[in-house]
Amino acid sequence: MSTVKTQKPNPAGVITEESDGTRTRKERPTGSMHVGDLDFDVDDPVFGAEATWNEVFTTCCCHTPEEWGMIFVGICVVVFFLYFFLVGLELLGSGAKVMGGCAAGSLFGDETNPVAGLMIGILATVLLQSSSTTTSIIVSLVGAESVSVRQGIYMVMGANIGTSVTNTIVALGQMGDGDQLERAFAGATVHDMFNFMTVAIFFPIEIITGYLYYLTSACVKNFETQEGDDWEGPIKKMVAPLADMIIKSNKKVIEAVADGGTCADFYPIVCDNPDEPTYSTCTRGLIDCNKNNDKCPTFFQATATQGDDQLSGFCAFLLGLIILFICLFGMVKVLQKMLLGMSTRIIYKSTNINGYLAMLIGCALTILVQSSSITTSTFTPLVGLGVIRLEQMYPLTLGANVGTTVTALLAALLSTTEALQVALSHLFFNVSGIIVYYPVPVLRKIPLHAARQLGRATRIWRGFPILYIIVMFFLLELLFLGLSALFTNGAIGLTVLGSMLTIVLFFLVLWAVYWWRWQGGKDSCYNCMVLRQKRHEANQNLPEDMEYLKQKVIELQEHTGLIEENEDTNYLNDSPKEDIENGSEENTADTA
């Protein structure tokens, strides 16, 4: 008797093709792949099999009233989780600014070498969790002539790299599923790979030729300062009020520290009425109050010290992280239910848009939300689910890179010519990277291949993403920052030491490449990570395995009628002692 394939609504209301027990592509007569299949793979050629727009329309738009009701409920739940996901990101950023604002601000200001400027841009953005904030601070410092234009350009390049850490953290939310983590981490790190590779080309070019400096200098030749207010995107207007009730960072303190001040100048906090702190009656440190309604957030303390505010920032950071992961989990689960069983031909057809159009969409969304981190972090879970392929995530990321430059441009229009020059350099830097890497298919594949390799590394060892974040966004930057400091100190001895360490580091890198490619280093690392992951999984499964074995032993005892465990244990424990005592008594009797 043949099995009839039917169209059934799943719990979320989306119609899916189902067969009795069919969960793999090989079990289907047509060989089609569906979301939720055990062998689901977005890199499989079947995933990209062409569907017709009529099939897409039928799948998406032809439903019964009951199904439409379920779809509406599913969309409402997704929007609910998405809203609080954005609130979590806002809390994460505000908490990071309060927690690390003083440290990030102290990195700016000193005129230093290009390498140090690049590393400062990366570290400051990682600490502040916002490239828009970092570039705005750089623009204001250049406008105040505290930082030169050339140094500001190097810092902006670093900020471009640092901004990608947020969606890399978001990818960790799918660590519970190996397949989703692999795809999500690849989708997040394609942003990293593009930014690192763009810096690898244009950083030395800028040092040698001053390409961005002279190009932007020509663009701002006849610029006149404008007047106006800062523009705030509509999404931020919806998300910020709720987040600001919990904590609100004070960017002016960070700018003051970057301009040569200290955080101690703003502490302790003093209020005319400590019981009812308000914007107009209190001094403010790293945590700000709302000027519009004259209210202070929950974490604001009337007599706070710098340490109190930083502790509050840490708590807000953790709270944002928890909200972010909970909402990410909920959003992924609901989307999985809504898409479960849907043919990947339909999904691919509906999301397979032209790459340059995808860039425009990414750019427009980023301008709308005023944060590339929000844009890329929202798309990362969809890459993990397989709804968006890595090839589609790539141009969306490039568009977000361009869109994030608008915030600094708007701030620079109200500042000086030099400030606008730095903001324009950020724009031209990203556009130049796109021109180099995206139009040529061979070069386009380089960041994609690197991101895929990083994604596969998470399959081997789940802890790899954490190691990646620590090494790529902290340890390397601190290493290069320390080395560059030896050359700018002015002492001949330190310069010689820096030169020696640089030479040693250079040969270590050459040896590492040789060992990795030709001495089996790649296989050694692979085997090490596999062994580590197997040990971790074995330790996790050990309690369940032991319970299973105990249950089987009890069943065998009941079936065979053997001595129960306690009696057997007592027998084993008591028998040797009794034998020894009996033997001693017999020996005594024989001697007598």
CA distance linking residue 422 with residue 62, whole number of Å: 52
Query: Same domain for 55 and 80?
Result: no
Q: What is the pLDDT of residue 198?
A: 93
Query: Same domain for 51 and 186?
Result: no
Q: What is the pLDDT of residue 545?
A: 64
- pLDDT tens digits for 245-279? 899 988 888 888 888 788 888 888 888 888 888 88
* Domain limit, last residue, from 464, 488, 512: 488
Q: What is the pLDDT of residue 592?
A: 44
Average pLDDT of the chain?
79
Q: What is the pLDDT of residue 49?
A: 53
Query: Same domain for 52 and 168?
Result: no
**Residues in the chain where the model's pLDDT stays below 70:** 1-53, 56, 109-111, 223-234, 340-347, 350, 415, 490, 540-545, 561-592
Query: Same domain for 191 and 328?
Result: yes
Query: Same domain for 108 and 225?
Result: yes
CB 160 within 8 Å of CB 202: no
The encoded tokens of residue 390 equal 């890595």
Q: What is the pLDDT of residue 374?
A: 83
Q: What is the pLDDT of residue 110?
A: 58
CA distances from 447 to 265, 394, 512 (A): 45, 9, 21
Query: Same domain for 101 and 235?
Result: yes
Query: Same domain for 369 and 351?
Result: yes
The answer to whether residue 348 is domain-embedded is yes
Query: Same domain for 27 and 94?
Result: no
* Domain limit, last residue, from 25, 40, 68: 68
The answer to whether residue 395 is domain-embedded is yes
Q: What is the pLDDT of residue 429?
A: 93
Query: Same domain for 22 and 147?
Result: no
Q: What is the pLDDT of residue 179?
A: 82
The answer to whether residue 569 is domain-embedded is no
* Coil vs helix vs strand at 60: helix
Query: Same domain for 54 and 170?
Result: no
Q: What is the pLDDT of residue 8?
A: 42
The answer to whether residue 386 is domain-embedded is yes
Cβ burial, residue 458 (10 Å; 0-12/13-18/19+)? buried
Whether the model clears a pTM of 0.85, i.e. scores above it, the answer is: no
The answer to whether residue 298 is domain-embedded is no
CA distances from 382 to 183, 305, 350, 371, 444 (A): 9, 42, 14, 18, 22
Query: Same domain for 410 and 445?
Result: yes
The answer to whether residue 366 is domain-embedded is yes
CB 337 within 8 Å of CB 70: no
Q: What is the pLDDT of residue 319?
A: 92
CA distances from 114 to 56, 157, 206, 479, 561 (A): 52, 10, 10, 15, 80
The answer to whether residue 247 is domain-embedded is yes
Neighbouring CB atoms inside 10 A of 123's CB total 23
Q: What is the pLDDT of residue 177?
A: 79
CA distance linking residue 424 with residue 217, whole number of Å: 9
> Which alpha helices (DSSP H) does 264-389 contain, by range?
306-339, 344-351, 355-369, 372-385
Q: What is the pLDDT of residue 418?
A: 81
The answer to whether residue 479 is domain-embedded is yes
Q: What is the pLDDT of residue 175?
A: 81
Domain that holds residue 47: 6-68
Q: What is the pLDDT of residue 154?
A: 92
Into how many domains does the chain fold?
Answer: 2
Amino acid in the structure at residue 233: G
* Domain limit, last residue, from 469, 488, 507: 488
Query: Same domain for 49 and 78?
Result: no
